[in-house]
Each structure stands twice: as C-alpha cells, then as structure tokens.
Amino acid sequence: MDSIPEIERCKTGIDILDNRILKGGLPRGSVTLVSGSSGVGKTTMCSQFLFNGAKKYDENGLLFTLTESVSQLKKYMGQFKFYDEKLVEKGKVQILDMRAIYRQLGMNSDKDTPKDTNAILRIINSIIGEYNIRRIIVDSVSAMAFRLVDKNQVRDLIFRFEGIIVDRDCTCLLTSEEASGTRNYSEFNVEFICDGIFFLRERELGNTLTRTLQVIKMRGTDHLRNEHELRIDSSGITLTERTF
C-alpha cells in the first residue's frame, strides 16, 4: 500500500510552535484565526511570522492593517529584532493600510456593499499575483467586518478570501478579538470557515498576568492542545512548555 504523503508545511519560525505544537509548521495553504483579547500579542505574532517568512524561508509576505496605521505598525514592530526595514524596502514584506485601498476604490462611505467586497477581493488577488506573495495577514478581521452592512457578508467575504488563498497556495493568519462573554473565538463565527485557531489569552497567576497560546484546531495535522506560555521580549514571541 502506498504511504500517505506528508502535507506541505509553512514554518512560522517560532520554534516550539513549529516543532512541538504543530508537528512541523502550519499546513501550507491554510487560514488560521489568531484570536485573543486586546494586547495579548496577536499583531506581534503575525508580524514575526511574516518577517521570518521573508528572511528565513524566502517567502514574500503581505500584511493588511486595519487597526493601526502603517507608520504606527512599523514603529511598534521596528522595536523587535525580527523586524527588518530592508525587507520592506525591497518589497519582500508589504504592509498596506486597508483604508488606503478603500479610498483608492472610491469607497468613502462607512459601509461596504457586496459590489465593494468584489472590488476588495480583486485587489487582494492582484497584489498576491504581482508580488509573488506566499504569506498573508489580515489584522484584524473584526475591523474589516465592521464595515460590512450585513454580518452574513463577513462570512461570505472570508469564505471567498479563503478561496483565493487556496488558489494562490498562500498561508494566512487572520486576527480577531474573541467575542466576549461567549465561547466563540471571533465575533462573526468565522472560526468555522478557518482551518485553524490559535487562542491567545492572559491568565492571572499570583499578582502577574501570564500570556498563553493554545491551538484549538488545525485541519490536516496532528497538534498539541495544551496551553503554552507565550512571552514577548525584544526577540518577539517565544513559547515554552509549562503546566497550568
């Protein structure tokens, strides 16, 4: 009998996450929701994934920011060792403000219509092709969704976005605020159409807050399901095994 072929992986460059938790890295072509409360490290983790991709694995990356301006994001991420302005200058890491794209499309109203959604997806698709993008971040899907009039459109947008990611063989992280007071990982239940979920949270241990990461699901691979401690320092995010 033929052996089952191994799926292709996309390494985040974060050691314990790739080698222990995900047993080799994210499945290539997957869309993962990075869910967690404010300040828990979502943008840092996604930026690290993007810069590691360009630097260590020669994979171009694209980050759509909706929650922070490009200059703010560069200023904050520029504090970390993984950040490399040269990669940005060379176009190997592109950081784009979604609001600028809305303006370019002449979408000045607060709310998008389905016609606008088609235009957004067309632009995303053309940027991926033009710059040979392999890794994509949307930070955040909650902010993107906020502009849509009908919340069913959010799922439709993510579903069609995922189609582009699969067609283009990109690997994608979407950040989302967890829906407070519910057992949902995102406000619009987009977790059901994502392949994976990283759940980041803060635990009160003694008199300090400790960040943790837990992989809730990852279609196509075995993975650990326990919480790992997540630390942020000048190197960015590091994970350690710890019993909670």
Residues in contact with ligand ATP by the rule CB under 6 A? 36, 38-44, 67, 79, 232-234
**Shortest distance in whole angstroms from residue 2 CB to ligand ATP:** 43
**Shortest distance in whole angstroms from residue 40 CB to ligand ATP:** 4
Residue 41 interacting entry, from ligand ATP, Mg ion, none, C-beta within 5 to 8 Å by type: ligand ATP
**Site stretch for Mg ion (CB under 5 A), options 29-37, 38-46, 123-131, 200-208:** 38-46
Q: Which is nearer to Mg ion, 65 or 214 (CB)?
A: 65
- Work out the burial of residue 164: count CB atoms within 10 Å of its CB; fewer than 13 is exposed, 13-18 middle, 19 or more buried: middle
Q: Which is nearer to ligand ATP, 42 or 55 (CB)?
A: 42
Contact criterion met (CB below 8 Å) for 175 and 139: yes
**Site stretch for Mg ion (CB under 5 A), options 39-47, 76-84, 129-137, 189-197:** 39-47
Residue 232 interacting entry, from Mg ion, ligand ATP, none, C-beta within 5 to 8 Å by type: ligand ATP
Q: Which is nearer to ligand ATP, 162 or 177 (CB)?
A: 177
DSSP letters, 33-52, are EEEE-TTSSHHHHHHHHHHH
**Shortest distance in whole angstroms from residue 36 CB to ligand ATP:** 6
d(C-alpha 137, C-alpha 220), whole Å: 20
Q: Which is nearer to ligand ATP, 109 or 235 (CB)?
A: 235
Q: Which of 12, 35, 43, 60: binder of Mg ion (CB under 5 A)? A: 43
Q: Which residues fall within 8 angstroms of residue 179, CB to CB, at 6 or more apart?
A: 185, 186, 187
**Shortest distance in whole angstroms from residue 39 CB to ligand ATP:** 4
**Shortest distance in whole angstroms from residue 238 CB to ligand ATP:** 11
Structure tokens given for 57: 């694995």
Q: Is 176 in the site for Mg ion (CB under 5 A)?
A: no
Amino acid at 92: K
Using Cβ positions, the residue closest to Mg ion within the complex turns out to be 43
Q: Which is nearer to Mg ion, 76 or 131 (CB)?
A: 76
Contact criterion met (CB below 8 Å) for 166 and 126: no
Contact criterion met (CB below 8 Å) for 205 and 170: no
DSSP state of 67: S
Structure tokens given for 177: 């605020």
d(C-alpha 103, C-alpha 77), whole Å: 25
**Shortest distance in whole angstroms from residue 146 CB to ligand ATP:** 14
Task: Find the helix or strand (DSSP H, E) in which 118 lies.
Answer: helix 114-130
Q: Which is nearer to ligand ATP, 9 or 147 (CB)?
A: 147
Q: Which residues fall within 8 angstroms of residue 231, CB to CB, at 6 or more apart?
A: 211, 237, 238, 239, 240
Sites of contact with Mg ion (CB under 5 A): 42-43
